[in-house]
Every structure is written in C-alpha cells, then in structure tokens.
Amino acid sequence: MKAIIFDLDGVVVDTAKYHYLAWRKLAQELGFTFEKMHNERLKGVSRMRSLEIVLEVGGITGVSEEKKQELAERKNGYYLEMISGINQSEILPGITEFISRKKKAGYKIGLGSASKSGGMILEKLGLAGQFDVIVDGNLVERAKPDPQVFTKAAELLGVPCSQCIVIEDAAAGIDAAIAGGMKCIGVGARDILKKADIVVPDTEALLSI
C-alpha cells in the first residue's frame, strides 16, 4: 500500500455534528424534527442528496428545483456559520499523530471529501500542509457512493487505486472505496460499516493499526 486517502467529516474532524445541527435547524423551519436516528443516511452524501433525504424524512414532496437550491443554500449558510470558528481543537483524537506517523513511514496522504468546504476546513485546522493532494466537493461531479472523489485523489497522487487505503466513517464512503478498487478502514459502528476491510471503533484506535 502506498497512499492513504482520508474522508474529512467524521474522520479528520468532528464536523458531522454541525452538518446534522444545520439540517435539523432547516427541518425545524419546515415544520418537523430531524432526529439523530436519520442522520446516518446523510453521512458522506452530497448536499443535494442530503436535502432530498431530509425532505423525504419530513414527508415533504413537490418541492421545485429552485426551492431545493434555496433550501440547500440556507442549510449551507447555517453550517458555515457553525464552523466559522473551527480550529485544531476539533481535530478528532489520534488523527494528527496518525497522519504524521504514516507520512514518516512513506505513505502519500490525500483527502477525498464530498464537502465543498473540505479544503477550507483543512486550512482552518492547520492540516492542509500535511496532505499531498486535497480533493473536495468542488473538484468532482459525482458524489459518494460513486468512487470519483477517491479515484481522482489516487490519480493526482500518482498511485494506482489498488495501492490506496481509504479511511471512512460513512457507509456511502465505504461503498465508494470498494467501487474504486481500494482497501478501506471504517471508523465507527461495525454493523453500519461491515463492508470495510477493517473497522475500528474510533479515530484513536487507528493508532493501533
């Protein structure tokens, strides 16, 4: 294996909770409560796909494309406001150490995030310099579970997909890694991430791999 490609939200940094809170706020304005139990479905998927899932959970149908754009932008506004002060303290446990160990061991390091704010967040965390390539939602047309975000990172790293390991907290991300012919490590619950090659319960446990 020659490269490690990290998902961002829920792997490098604890932003998954802000995505959830921003969708929850939007749902509240639309007249329903978006519960935590539905949140798993939003992990890893694009902003527009997330909106469709949120509307489906709320039983809201017949929304025009124009209105969907407005709602997605509104949610993103809440999200950006919530993460405006984000800093190194929100990097998930063990990640900084794990990246530096793997760099020393000779692995190339990439980001493969669905989020259009991915690159900006890495900058705010002071981690951008640790990554050899950063592929976020601005550079791809197809969202996870499509493998494009990971295959693009592999291509830019100059490493064949078969020699890349993806680290992911979302089922959609594990599916994307498999579709791209990559190995993958799931971070989180085994029942949700069962298709991964290895599952660790949290980011700190990556240090024992």
| Positions marked catalytic | 7, 9
Partner touching 146 among Mg ion, ligand BG6, none, CB below 5 to 8 Å by kind: none
Burial of 61 (0-12, 13-18, 19+ CB in 10 A): exposed
Which of 16, 104 has the CB closer to ligand BG6? 16
* Partner that binds at residue 102, options Mg ion, ligand BG6, none, CB closer than 5 to 8 Å by kind: none
Out of 7, 136, 146, 175, the only residue in the binding site for Mg ion (CB under 5 A) is 7
Which of 137/145 has CB closer to ligand BG6? 137
Q: Which does 46 bind (CB under 5 to 8 A by kind): ligand BG6, Mg ion, none?
A: ligand BG6
Q: With contacts defined by CB under 5 A, how many residues of the chain interact with Mg ion?
A: 5
Picked from Mg ion, ligand BG6, none, the partner binding residue 166 (CB below 5 to 8 A depending on kind) is none
Q: Which of residues 8-37 bind Mg ion (CB under 5 A)?
A: 9-10
Contact 133, 110 (CB under 8 A): yes
The verdict on 175 binding Mg ion (CB under 5 A) reads: no
Amino acid at 184: C
Q: Which of 80, 78, 94 is nearest to 11 (CA)?
A: 94
C-alpha to C-alpha distance for 159 and 164, rounded to whole angstroms: 7
| Of 163 and 178, CB closest to ligand BG6 | 178
- Give 20-73 as a DSSP string: HHHHHHHHHHHTS---HHHHGGGTTS-HHHHHHHHHHHTT-----HHHHHHHHH
- Using only C-alpha atoms, the chain has a radius of gyration, in whole angstroms, of 17
Contact partners, residue 28, CB within 8 Å, separation at least 6: 34
Please say whether the beta carbons of 203 and 14 come within 8 A.
Answer: no
Amino acid at position 179, single letter: A
170 lies in the binding site for Mg ion (CB under 5 A): yes
Taking the least distance from each CB to ligand BG6, the nearer of 45 and 199 is 45
Rounded to the nearest whole angstrom, what is the least distance from the CB of residue 111 to ligand BG6 in the complex? 10
Site residues for ligand BG6 per CB under 6 A: 8-9, 19, 42-47, 50, 76, 113-117, 137, 170
Q: Which residues bind Mg ion (CB under 5 A)?
A: 7, 9-10, 169-170
